[in-house]
A and B are shown apart, each in its own frame.
Chain A
Amino acid sequence: MDITLTALIGLPLAGGLLAWAAARWRIRLAYAFALAATAGQFLLTLFFWLSLSPSGNTPWLAEVRYAWIPRLGIFFHLGLDGLSLIMTAITGAIGVLAVLASRTSIRTQTGFYLFCLLGSLAAINGIFLALDLFLFYIFWELMLIPLFLLIRIWGHEQRNAASLKFFLFTQAGGLLLLLGIIGLCLAYSRATGHISFELADLQTIALAPRTGRWLMLAFFAAFAVKLPAVPVHAWLADAHTQAPIAGSLVLAGLVLKAGGYGLIRFLLPIFPVEAAAFAPVAMALGVAGILYGALMAFGQNDLKRLIAYTSISHMGYVLLGVFALNELALQGAVMMMVAHAASAAALFLLAQMIDFRLGTRDLRELGGLWASAPCMGGVMMFFAMASLGLPGLAGFVAEFLVLLGVFKVSVLLAALGACGLIVSAVYNLRMIQMVLHGPQKKERESTLDLSLLERGMCAALILVTLWIGLFPQPFLNTSRDVIQRIVNQQNVPRILRTETKGHPPGNVAPAAFINAGAVSP
């Protein structure tokens, strides 16, 4: 059973390679491979969801652990729990959508395109499963390269600058994360005399206040760049706007979630005390993100750019919810990630369909689409409503839970966060108005409305959004154990001390290192 866990990473990777090879002969065959791999991965997560229940003492539904670099105490360690399950399921679903949506728009190098897409999905699944911090970091970085190529090769007009900006921002954050991981690992080896990159080990130590604060900030910076939180969000709008459809879907649906996932999986369990101390700042950043993203979205004329800014706004709720540090808000944050994956994916798909049909994404040149494409209009209306948090749809559940949880901690921040709901109604309605209503400004093409495939994709997303909105309990149940454990850990005292007062930094660790390796001198 456990070995199938690696299939969550291996399946997209193998599919990508097969698709790359197959594209030499038949493009259709390449798409078939890619689709089979992503759909297979999605079904595999569903299978895990239906068949597995946690077995007593271990929190993991499934676990894989091999020695990888024994010299440095690094393991190939994957584990699946409720949270990872939700995230990998999103990966599979977004993967299927991305493959299907690419068929019409990608003209060159299709095989390599599919390989990049599926390669990034494999790396993202790795992020959601890795339990060894070194392994996590490898996947964290690995995700960037195929995405960089996706934007660089198949992107829109300003793809060069956008791809470079995306990579440099996220890589800068990533290297801070590396520094944080190394610092943490050294602190651990100082405390225990041996070296480890395992999450389970690293979360047992209590850090000296100063060390802990800096390390936590390094982790936070990396995750905040991906999320993105407000001062470090500059890469997002360009990358989303310039990426091809699969790039936009993966960025909005998965990459941003990796930031939120990292906060919940790593930052909170490893730095409970430091996170609690930092929470007010982080929550303020979250609220700033909500309002700033919404205001910026209101001012955009490029449809994709507008949707990108709504992502910043929605991810603000995730940041807010995570750092409220109670179960309700954390559950809300997880729900927000699911809901946003569905709504942003749908909106990006629609933007792509409009761009493909009319050759523009500029709101000022669009208009009156509802008359000529009623089905598209309906779908867009639905997801605009989902995005602005209409009760009964997924976004509402998430925002409600987050705000409820935050209300317990800070009334002011909850109130400010709730203001985001108003602004989001404004920008969503503006979008609807400019795209769907008014006179039609662009020449209509023969088939403007959604094709059968597109209807199917939209219908699936609508069903998920409705399901979460009306009956969120199955989703909440899936992630409840994980969230509860993380929240409870906040109160568990740490036994191991890392540093005594007045200890000169860096003098003990090397000896510990030399003795830690497999080869003894």
Chain B
Amino acid sequence: MRDIDILSLLPFVLVAITAVAAMLVAAFTRREGPVFGVTATGLLLAFVSMAFVPAQTAPVDTLLTIDGYARFFMGLFLLATLMVVAISYGRVGSPDSTCGEYYVLLTLAALGAMTLAASDHFASFALGLELLSVSLFALIAYRRSRESALEAGVKYLVLSGVSSSVLLFGMALVYAQTGTLRLSGLGAAASGTMGGALMAAGLAGIVVGTGFKLSLVPFHLWAPDVYQGASSPVAGFVSTVSKGAVFVVLLRTVRIIGAESASALPTVIAVLAIASMFAGNLLALRQDNLRRLLAYSSITHMGYLLVMLRVPDMLGVEAASYYLVSYYFATLAAFGTLTALSGEDSVLDCLADVQGLAYRRPGLCAVFAVALLSLAGLPLTAGFIGKFYLVLAGWSAGLHALVILLIVNSVIGLAYYLRVIGLLFQEPNVRRETVTQALPLSWALSSVLVLLTAGTLLVGLFPDPLLSLTRLFRP
């Protein structure tokens, strides 16, 4: 291993050290502050160290490749985890219990996500995925005194286990056919064998396995329960970092194999995308629970992103990256708002709880409204440029039917986003107001919310810098 490789792995090393350091600190003090401080500093350092990672396309070792694509998403995952850490501060556990391990778990999950972003090998693919998932089992069930959290944790554990084994089996079948575990070697090795039944079954396994993690329809059954049962920051983490990491590695795999070359793969992707868009949206229409609504909306967004797997040129990757960034901003802001509104014991669940938010908490209402507008893809927000880019990329690749369905779905999606936005501005319901006693905003949470909202608007108004950034990498 050369020196430059060590430098390339610096972010991984730093995040790993952060996890250990946070664990050590948690062993000595039972207060939340120091652990939080160590975690946040470590993640920030890891993010800063990204600047020193040399830009190279050669794989660092057999397992990882730190190219521009990996760097972009590693940075994104680090930032998002940092946001989740900041959102969580002061709201993790009850005062009398420790919560150090919460931050350790988050850091480990981030490490898993980064591994996925840089993965060039089925081994690192599986390793990263497991690191991410196993941390999430504990995180989702973290508030173990609550029944719904336990239920969500168990549900995620079982389904995640099943999906992981399907994924591993798929990898094994692909290996049996091609004789290589390297993703980058897969393209050449697979080119002649695309028609084979083993290969098709193997790819199907991989798609199904990742589909579970992305909560694509019909593998989405865990999503609403997990969103509802987990605490808001964890739900935000699941829907951003976890899904994003799996999508990123799926995108890389599909691009290497070549989506259009494999016989059944394009159809499978299209069917999953269409099913996710429609089912997510139509089910979201009927939700009265805000978290479940966001869960279904996130299913829909994954459906939109899936369309980009079918775009053969770089425009698809650029559009997907851009969309992912805008989705991260909005989703984290939404879950940050939910965190801010939740009290110590009360969880903000019902749509009726946010009624009249504009009158009670104008600042939070503005954050939430901007996040929803961005998710709905309305102009001046990052979500609009993201959706525009998706449509542009899809249409230029000739995916007319998929793009038209995407457009139809964004109209359906508007119906429930607008319903919530309308509620925000409705006269407050006095009877409900007293039920939810929100904790005071921590400085970390409020600054994150301000940052995310400003980011959503800035990226929506001046998209060019981010567009240029996404152009810099070639996976």
Q: Give the B-binding residues of A (Cβ under 8 A).
A: 68-72, 108-109, 112, 134, 137-138, 141-142, 144-145, 148-149, 152-153, 160, 163-164, 167-168, 171-172, 175-176, 178-179, 182-183, 185-186, 505-507, 509-511, 513-514, 517-519, 521
Contacts and interface: CB of A to CB of B under 8 A. Distances in A.
A212 to B, nearest CB: 16
Interface string B388-410: 10011001111000011001001
B457 to A, nearest CB: 13
Contacts of B396: 186, 506, 509-510, 513
A152 B422 contact: yes
A178 B388 contact: yes
B379 interface: yes
Contact of A178 (B391, B397, B418): B391
Nearest to A141: B379
Contacts of A148: 418, 422
B414 A171 contact: yes
B445 to A, nearest CB: 25
Nearest to A69: B464
B39 to A, nearest CB: 36
A179 B410 CA distance: 13
Nearest to B461: A68
Contact of B395 (A144, A176, A183): A183
B403 A179 contact: yes
B411 A182 contact: no
A123 to B, nearest CB: 9
A280 to B, nearest CB: 27
9 contacts: A71-B463, A71-B464, A142-B380, A145-B373, A168-B414, A171-B414, A182-B391, A506-B397, A519-B468
A270 to B, nearest CB: 17
A153 B467 contact: no
Contacts of B314: 514
Contacts of B419: 164
A69 B463 contact: yes
B143 interface: no
A495 B86 CA distance: 58
Interface residues of B, number: 38
Nearest to A186: B396
A471 B384 CA distance: 46
B294 to A, nearest CB: 20
A514 B315 contact: yes
Interface of B: 312-315, 358, 373, 378-380, 384, 388, 391-392, 395-398, 403-404, 407, 410-411, 414-415, 418-419, 422, 425-427, 462-464, 467-468, 471-472, 474
B463 A514 contact: no
Contact of B378 (A70, A141, A163): A141
Contacts of B388: 134, 178, 182
B422 A72 contact: no
A178 B390 CA distance: 12
- Name, among A70, A168, A178, the residue most crowded by chain B CB atoms within 10 Å (CB to CB): A178
A71 B468 contact: yes
A298 B319 CA distance: 51
B315 A519 contact: no
Contacts of A163: 418, 422
A207 to B, nearest CB: 15
Q: Which 7 A-B pairs have the closest CB atoms?
A: A506-B398, A510-B313, A71-B467, A509-B396, A138-B379, A141-B379, A175-B407
Contact of B418 (A68, A112, A164, A509): A164
Given A71-B471, A108-B427, 9 more contacts: A149-B425, A164-B418, A175-B407, A178-B391, A182-B388, A186-B392, A506-B395, A513-B313, A514-B315
A72 B467 contact: yes
Nearest to B466: A71
A138 B315 CA distance: 22
Contacts of A179: 391, 395, 403-404, 407
B398 A145 contact: no
Contacts of A168: 411, 414-415
Contacts of A510: 312-313, 315, 396-397
A274 B142 CA distance: 62
A518 B407 contact: no
A175 B464 CA distance: 22
A141 to B, nearest CB: 5
Contact of A69 (B312, B384, B404, B467): B467
Nearest to A140: B379
A108 B426 CA distance: 11
Nearest to B419: A164
Nearest to A134: B388
- Name, among A70, A72, A505, A511, the residue most crowded by chain B CB atoms within 10 Å (CB to CB): A72
Contact of A507 (B384, B398, B462, B471): B398
Contacts of A164: 415, 418-419, 422
Nearest to A153: B425
A72 B319 CA distance: 12
A172 B411 contact: yes
A171 B397 CA distance: 24
A517 B410 CA distance: 28
A505 B398 contact: yes
A510 B398 CA distance: 10
A182 B392 contact: yes
Contact of B380 (A72, A138, A505, A517): A138
- Name, among B392, B404, B471, the residue most crowded by chain A CB atoms within 10 Å (CB to CB): B392
Contacts of A134: 388
Contacts of B426: 152-153
- Name, among A108, A152, A168, A514, the residue most crowded by chain B CB atoms within 10 Å (CB to CB): A152
A70 B462 CA distance: 10
A514 B312 CA distance: 12
A175 B418 contact: no
Contacts of A142: 378-380
B384 to A, nearest CB: 8
Nearest to A504: B398
B310 to A, nearest CB: 12
A264 to B, nearest CB: 23
A424 B235 CA distance: 58
Contacts of A160: 422
Contacts of B397: 506, 510
Contacts of A513: 313, 315, 396
A378 B89 CA distance: 67
A112 B425 CA distance: 10
B391 A518 contact: no
B436 to A, nearest CB: 22
Contacts of B391: 178-179, 182
A149 B426 CA distance: 10
A240 to B, nearest CB: 19
A302 B426 CA distance: 25
